[in-house]
Amino acid sequence: MLANQNSKKPSDHFELLYKTLLDSIPSSVLMIDDKLNVISVNQNYLVKSRRSKENTINCPLSDVFPSVILENTGFDNHIRSVLRIRKAIRGQKMTYRGPGVPIRIYYYSILPVVPGQVMLIMEDVTEQTNLSEDVRRVERHLASVVESASDIVLSIDMNGRILTWNSAAADLSGLSSDEVQSQLFHEYCEPGKKTIIEESLLYISGLRRANDSYTIEFCLLTPTNNNNTGILISWVFSPMKDIDGATIGAVIVGRDLAERRKLELQLRQSQKLGALGIMAGGIAHEIRNPLAVCSSAAQFLLSDGVDLEFRKQCSMKIQTNINKASTIIENLMAFAGSSMDGNMTDIVLSEALEGTIALVANQAKVQKIKIELMQSPEIILVSGVVGLLQQVFMNILLNAFKAMPSGGSVSVTIECLSDSVEVQFIDTGIGIPVGDIDKIFDPFHTSSPTGQGTGLGLSICYRIIQQHLGSIRAESSPGKGASIIINLPLLLI
Amino acid sequence: MKNRILIIDDEEDMCWAISHILKSQGQSIVTASSGEEACRKLSEGCYSLVFLDAKMPDMDGLDVARFANKLGNDKPQIIMISGYHYANDPIICNAIEEGLITGFLSKPFTNEEILLHYHVHRNAM
């Protein structure tokens, strides 16, 4: 390794081999003597530092390394101590900037090789350092995404113990991440959810892909809140997998449903107002008719010489027509004021349908549409919110009206199946285009010209029927009308 | 029999009211409670004046008016009565401009308004 000019010695061969070896390794290797002069250097160092062999070998260390480095790292002192006590120093970090080269980061070791000489090995770890810096940056970024999410993001292990708990979870529950750490998740959920969480874990551990998930709704308890009823959350369980693909827990994202419920309610309310708007024309017609009769009859009574018989007739007409007008208003009030968020009650299906039909009857008359309700002999009960079901029926009927611009008919049939009841609305309108039949329940799908339909009616129907544990579908052949079929679970008495 | 009046409305009580208003005028009055019945009566007999409801379950009032206008020389004068339209409704204005109807009354009306239309019609004859 040391310069030796005698080429005839058998060690020549090995010396050359070592030199080649040293020059080819990607680390810098320098030999330094006890006067802190560089006595040997490999190719890698010369390339990295952009120095020539001539101005490096036999030069003092302070000439070879920038003085800044020597001062900052205490590098020369380290070398002196290794020379003195002959104990290696390993894995020190040094930032090195050669003239005109970008900053590099090195790990260096100082090894006592022979007495009076040390070997300095410098390994370039710039790339690795940058890489781990990047990893840390991504980690920080992900953590801040999870932390700043407005949804609850938490993770649990396979035993259901909480691993992480983001600030949205802390805000909603009132419990900090430290408080819940390693606690069982079900203890913070409404009672009786232990099994459901276990089953969810079992279910998702069977899922093949990490982006498959399992959705469920239940309450998160809010112990800090006085009325500890909890907040209804929609939870999405996804498997958390280790590097070998084994499920080691679950990532659970939870969304506060209160906000969504509120929006849904507003949407239904405005949709209902829209339906009332459509019916306003028909209602005006139907109220002004009895008003006109009453007005004329009252004027007859005012004239002179009215005989008793006619007087009686006039009073009767006034009374009947006032009743007619007030029935129309009552139906309207019942619909407009119907609870949109009430509790499920037992509903006689035919009565709910009759009420709705009575309400749209005026509009049907104006559009020359006949509505036929085929009653079934038995009383059919379903569980539901009357106002919501009537909104569904009304939407379907008004849609049917729209499909029959020059009149037609809608027949409504009720048919009992084994454990459910099917309500069919069959119209004689223009029908639904073949490609649209799958889309009509999508929000904002509309066949109406811009500004004349929001395209939300049927999507609201879909959601309402879904909440009643039923289903809704459409059948149609273009030009031959359409059928909307609602299936609701039968309430057995 | 040219002086007969036809009252068309699907609401029986409306026919009753208008008939009674005009009864005092000593006119012969016929009523029809659907568009179809009205068309039949219009083609069978002669009417000089028609009070016509705008919206009936089987026909639109304006369609009945179109039918009546095709009757050639026996074309009656038509007063449309509606709870659905307003007097300045474009549909009504157009119908009057086209000569499809001669006048319009919105429900509810006063008995005098009906009589006024009747007298205008009488004087025009």
Neighbours of A133 (CB within 10 A): 10
Q: Are A131 and A114 in contact (CB under 8 A)?
A: no
* Helix or strand run (H / E) with residue A358: helix A349-366
Q: Where are the domains of chain B?
A: 5-124
For residue range A291-322, list pLDDT tens digits in order. 999 999 999 999 888 899 999 999 999 999 99
Indicate the class that CATH gives domain A340-493.
alpha beta
| CATH of the domain spanning A11-128 | 3.30.450.20
Q: Are A470 and A457 in contact (CB under 8 A)?
A: no
Average pLDDT over residues B101-106: 92
For residue range A248-269, list pLDDT tens digits in order. 889 999 988 877 777 777 777 7
Q: What is the overall mean pLDDT for chain A? A: 84
* Shortest distance, CA A462 to any CA of chain B (angstroms): 31
- Asked if B20 and A370 come within 8 Å (Cβ–Cβ), the reply is no
Residue of B12, B15, B20, B82 to mutate for A, most A C-beta atoms under 10 A: B20
Residue of B21, B62, B111, B112 to mutate for A, most A C-beta atoms under 10 A: B111
For residue range B6-18, list pLDDT tens digits in order. 999 999 999 999 9
* Shortest distance, CA A387 to any CA of chain B (angstroms): 28
Q: What is the DSSP string of A186-254?
A: GGGBSTT-HHHHHHHHHHHHT-SSTT--EEEEEEEP-TTSSSTT-EEEEEEEEEEE-TTS-EEEEEEEE
Please report the pLDDT score of residue A127 as a whole number: 84
B5-124 is classed in which CATH architecture?
3-Layer(aba) Sandwich (3.40)
| CATH 3.30.450.20 applies to domain A143-257 | yes
For residue range B15-42, list pLDDT tens digits in order. 999 999 998 888 899 999 999 999 999 9
State the complex-level ipTM: 0.90
Residue A25 has pLDDT above 90, yes or no: no
For residue range A70-113, list pLDDT tens digits in order. 777 787 888 888 988 888 888 888 887 766 777 788 888 999 98
Please report the pLDDT score of residue A448 as a whole number: 60
Dist CA A254 CA A264 (whole Å): 18
Beta strands in A400-489 (DSSP E): 408-416, 420-427, 471-476, 482-489
Give percent of chain A with pLDDT exceeding 70: 91
Highest mean pLDDT among A226-235, A264-273, B37-46: B37-46
Is A340-493 in the same CATH topology as A11-128? Answer: no
Q: Where are the domains of chain A?
A: 11-128, 143-257, 340-493
